[in-house]
Amino acid sequence: MAEASRVEPTNEVRLLADAMLGRLARWLRALGYDTLYDSRLNDRDLARLARTEGRLLLTRDHQLAGSMGLRAVLVQSDRLVGQLSQVLPLLPTPLAAPFGRCVACNGRLEEVDRDSVQARVPEYIWETQQDFALCRQCGRIYWRGSHWEHIRRHLADLGLTLP
């Protein structure tokens, strides 16, 4: 079984999650980690991507985790809380505030001018929120209130706090 030691102290760690870990992948993206996830990838694809892109593979599969030459973490729990508790301590401190990556597509979020999104978000949101970010890849818009607070609250519920 491959166990990753603490990864380099940079937020540029790149992750790859297997098909069993979709929910974890979305959380890792929200926390700002570059996390590739596509449920259509098979074991061979995953191993190839981990090698060619230098990604740390997160997997529930013993055999895959033990593949020669792969940097991999065998994720022990099938529950999100257990998965986060195992994986987060292995990673550099998240730099997600105020926004991480797009949970839908892993694209980078970019803070955008409030006025530029007025026509694209519900009026109530535009009136009550100050900070907006746009996914450069898929165009999804995020605002701090619903997104970041949601993440913080859920991490707290899980007994996890962000540094």
Mention every residue, 6+ apart, whose C-beta is less than 8 A from residue 44: none
Nearer to Zn ion, 94 or 100 (CB): 100
Nearer to Zn ion, 114 or 140 (CB): 140
The site for Zn ion (CB under 5 A) is made up of 102, 104-105, 107, 135, 137-138, 140
Q: What is the DSSP letter of 108?
A: B
Nearer to Zn ion, 97 or 104 (CB): 104
To which residue do tokens 């409030």 refer? 114
Least distance (Å) between residue 26 CB and Zn ion: 11
Do 11 and 30 touch, CB atoms closer than 8 A? Answer: no
Least distance (Å) between residue 35 CB and Zn ion: 12
Least distance (Å) between residue 109 CB and Zn ion: 8
Nearer to Zn ion, 70 or 151 (CB): 151
Mention every residue, 6+ apart, whose C-beta is less than 8 A from residue 83: 21, 24, 75, 77
Read off the tokens for 129: 């929120």
- Element counts in the chain: helices (H) and strands (E): 6, 7
Least distance (Å) between residue 106 CB and Zn ion: 7
